[in-house]
Homo-oligomer: A and B are copies of this chain.
Amino acid sequence: MLGRAVWSSVRQGLGRGLSRNVGGWASGEGRKVDIAGIYPPVTTPFTATAEVDYGKLEENLHKLGTLPFRGFVIQGSNGEFPFLTSSERLEVVSRVRQAMPKDKLLLAGSGCESTQATVEMTVSMAQVGADAAIVVTPCYYRGRMSSAALIHHYTKVADLSPIPVVLYSVPANTGLDLPMDAVVTLSQHPNIVGIKDSGGDVTRMGLIVHKTRKQDFQVLAGSAGFLLAGYAVGAVGGVCALANVLGAQVCQLERLCLTGQWEDAQKLQHRLIEPNTAVTRRFGIPGLKKTMDWFGYYGGPCRAPLQELSPMDEEALRMDFTSNGWL
A contact residues vs B (CB 8 Å cutoff): 50, 77, 82-83, 85, 113-117, 138, 140-146, 148-150, 152-153, 156, 172-175, 200-203, 206-207, 209-210, 213, 223, 225-226, 228-229, 232-234, 260, 262, 265-266, 269-271, 273-274, 276-277, 281, 284-286, 303-307
Our pick among B145, B146, B281 for the contact of A143 (Cβ within 8 Å) is B281
B residues near A210, Cβ cutoff 8 Å = 270-271, 273
- Contacts beyond the supplied A114-B304, A207-B270, A210-B273: 12 A-B pairs with Cβ under 8 Å: A82-B113, A83-B113, A83-B116, A114-B305, A138-B305, A141-B285, A149-B307, A152-B305, A202-B202, A203-B223, A203-B277, A229-B229
Interface hub of A116, A148, A173, A304 (most chain B Cβ within 10 A): A304
Q: How far is the CA of A34 from the CA of B65 in the complex (A)?
A: 47
Say yes or no: A305 contacts B150, CB within 8 Å. Answer: yes
Report B-chain residues with C-beta under 8 Å of the C-beta of A200.
201-203
Kindly identify which residue among B173, B228, B276 contacts A233, using a CB–CB cutoff of 8 Å.
Answer: B228
B260 and A306 contacting across the interface, CB-CB below 8 Å: no
- Give chain B nearest CB distance to A204 CB in angstroms: 9
- Chain A interface mostly helix, strand, loop or mixed? helix
Measured CA separation A143–B138 after assembly (Å)? 18
A-B contact pairs, 8 of them (CB 8 A): A50-B116, A82-B114, A83-B116, A85-B117, A140-B173, A148-B307, A156-B304, A203-B273
Chain B residues with Cβ under 8 A from A304's Cβ?
Answer: 114-116, 152-153, 156
Tell me whether A303 and B175 are in contact in the complex, defined as CB-CB below 8 angstroms, given that A203-B225, A266-B233 are known contacts: no
**7 A-B pairs with the lowest CB-CB distances in the bound complex, closest first:** A210-B270, A115-B304, A82-B113, A153-B305, A83-B114, A203-B225, A232-B232
